[in-house]
Each structure stands twice: as structure tokens, then as C-alpha cells.
Structure 1
Amino acid sequence: MENPISKEINVADWVNAYGDELYRYAYSKTGDSHVSEDLVQDAFLGALQNTTDQSEIKNQKSWLFSILRNKVVDYYRELERKSKKENNWDTNLELDVHFTSMGMWRTSEKAMVWNNTENLATNKEFNAILDACLTKLPKHYQAVVRLKIMEDERTDCICEDLGISTSNLWQIIHRTKLRLRKCINKHWFQA
């Protein structure tokens, strides 16, 4: 007779075996420790709710990572939905800040020439300002920067994960660059 206890789900085993790896993955995708902890917890809860027998899962680690990946996708989709509700303004208003009615760059918005930029990547003070500028971005902009620029994810994967179109992705990247340029100019080059 088969031991019924061996088929029971032991979440503690999952947490001990995969918790740290799952957390690191979630953190690499979100950059937020609290959100990462919540996503990992949700992944374990989702796994627990969707199976009754551990032996029916061929590769538990892959299965848990796929659940977590879906939780990360859901998190970013929810961020995008919230952002659209909160920022329900005419998208041209943001562009009006940078351009005149004739479509020319405003004098105050023209790009500055940045001299001596070759050492910026290793400059701790500059990186602190860059991090501060990144945290001022809306959450969905931060998600795009993290996935596209820092994680080097493919465009189609990002669009699918965030539930946005390709043109929307590139629009977000462009607006992010404008905001970062303005912030860095203000806090680094003009400071």
C-alpha cells in the first residue's frame, strides 16, 4: 500500500529548495524587494492551489518558475492598467513640454553636449543620480527600462508580458530617455 503522506504537497520543501532562486528571479525583473517577496509568495500559493500531488509534477523547479513568470507578467499588466487610469490625460500634453507649437525643440529642452562621458559608467556619484532619476519614473516606465535596457529582453516578449503594442513600447522608451536626460542635466551637469 502506498504511503499517502508522500503524495502530499510540502510547501516548506519548495521554499527551502527554490525560494532563494525564485526571489532572485523576481527581484531581477522588478527591482523591488517587497514586490519580489509578494510575487514569490503568490507563486507558491498558486502552485499549492493548482496541484494535489507533487509526484504529478515532472520538474518542480521549472513549473514553479513558470508560475512565477506568469505572476511577474500579471504584476506588470496590472501596473500598466493602473497607470492608464491614473494618467488619463492627453498624451500630447507631455510632448508640449518639449516642443513648440511649430514642432521645434524648446530652447530649454535642447540637448546639452555632455563632455567627458567616458568615465560616467564607473562614477559612483553619477550612478547614484541615475538611480534617483530612474526611481522618479512611473512604474511602467521603470519596467520597460529594466526589461529592455538592463535585462536586454526581446521587444516582442516585453510587449507580450506588459500587454502593450510595439509602438507603445518605443514611445515609452523615447519618453523615458527624455525624462532621464532632463533629470541628469538638472542633477549632474547643472549641479
Structure 2
Amino acid sequence: MSNPALQWLDTHGDVLYAFALRRLRDPHLAEEAVQNTLLAALEGAERFAGQSSVQTWLIGILKFKIIDLLREQQHWQQVPDEAELDNSVGEDDLFTAAGHWAHTPVAWRDPSRELDNKQLRLLIDACLNRLPRRMAQLFWLRELNDEPAESVCSSLGISSANMYQLLFRARQTLRVCLSEGGRDGSLS
């Protein structure tokens, strides 16, 4: 195999695809993002200085390709998805009339160490899968990838007020799902 793109695909393809799929929630878009990444890497291979691993370099390119795909997708989908608004959890579901938690949240030990726990990552992924696709993408971009708000709004074609409202709803829904160990059937 003398073609670097084939070597990169063979060595890093699974990691790139999993990374893209977790953010895009669409197998076809994830494949497209990986293909675009490999093409861009091939075109810019002479600029790779070797200051990071090839995988880190490819994931850096992939992040921008994902944002490009989200922008392109938003360009073709101008009508807001009403299902996003109907599939979130409201305050009434979280608190009792007296203002107490409706369901006691699970006690966390040390969040920084728990985040490294593979089971927690799987639970977070399962809970994110219950969110509407665009809401999950927004949460990944803004909260987990720490993308700037302006960039996220531009990528998804939403206003900053809409972004913060969707993030609020996503956090509420994820809080319920995580506190119940991902077992709440009403969120799916």
C-alpha cells in the first residue's frame, strides 16, 4: 500500500468514523466526513509537520469537515424541526409541586474521574442518542467539543437565543436520563 490515504484509512479509519458518527448521528454523513477528511489530508500532506500524531492531525481535519457538513446540511434544511421542541423534558417533569426533585439525582463521586470511566461514556452516548439529532449535534459541538457559540450557531443555522434554549432543554433531558441510569423509557 503506497497510497497514504489508504494507509490512513486502514490505520485510523475506525477511529475517524466513530468520531464522526458520534457527532453527526448519521452513518452516511459520517462516511462522507471521513472521505472528505482523507482527501483534505492527502491534498495537505506536505504541510503536516509531524508535531502531533497522524491520528490527532486527521481528527483535527475531521472536526472542520463535520462543521462543513453541518453547514451544508443546514443550507438545505431551512424549516425548523418541530420534533426537537416536542421531544425535550420540561420543568414539570423534573420537580414536584413543592419544588423538590421529582426523582432524586444519582450521587456523583468524583466527576473528573467518573468521566474517564468507560461505562459513564457509554451511558452519556446512550442518553445523547435519545435527543433529537440536531440537539445532540449542538450539545456535542458546544459542550463536549467546546466550539465557540458563534461557530456553532453558524454551523447549525440557528440564533444564539435558540442555541441556548436548545442547550437548556438538552441538559434537562440528559440530567433526567443520566440520573436514572439511562433507563427512562419516556425519553426514547
Structure 2 length as normaliser, TM-score?
A: 0.57
Aligned residue for 2:104, secondary structure, equals: coil
- Alpha carbons of 1:23 and 1:155: their partners in 2 closer, same or farther (altered >3 Å)? farther
Aligned to 1:151: 145
Matches within 5 A, 1:1-191: 15-16=5-6, 28=19, 30-31=21-22, 34=27, 35-41=29-35, 59=44, 72-77=66-71, 78=73, 84-85=79-80, 87-88=81-82, 91=85, 97-99=90-92, 105-107=95-97, 110=102, 112-118=104-110, 120-187=114-181
Higher mean C-alpha deviation, range 18-27 or range 127-136: 18-27
The Cα of 1:105 is off from its aligned counterpart by 4.4
TM-score normalised over the length of structure 1: 0.57
Matched residues in 2 for 1:175 and 1:41: separation? Answer: 33
In structure 2, distance between residues paired with 1:189 and 1:152: 28
Look up the SS of the partner of 1:152 in the other structure. coil
8 A Cα contact 2:95 2:102, kept in partner:
yes
Output the CA distance in 1 between the equivalents of 2:103 and 2:76: 32
Q: What SS does structure 1 have at the residue aligned with 2:122? A: helix
CA distance in 2, matches of 1:189, 1:159: 31
Structure 1, gaps ≥5 residues long? 1-11, 48-56
Report if the CA contact (8 A) 2:20-2:66 is conserved. yes
8 Å contact from structure 1 (residues 135, 142) kept in 2: yes
C-alpha contact 1:141 1:172 (8 A) present in aligned 2: yes
The answer as to whether partners of 2:20 and 2:62 remain within 8 angstroms in 1 is no
State the distance in 1 between where 2:83 and 2:129 align: 22
- Greater CA radius of gyration, 1 or 2? 1
Q: Which protein has greater RCO, CA pairs closer than 8 Å, 6+ apart? A: 2
Distance 1:95 1:24 in 2: 30
Superposed CA RMSD: 4.6
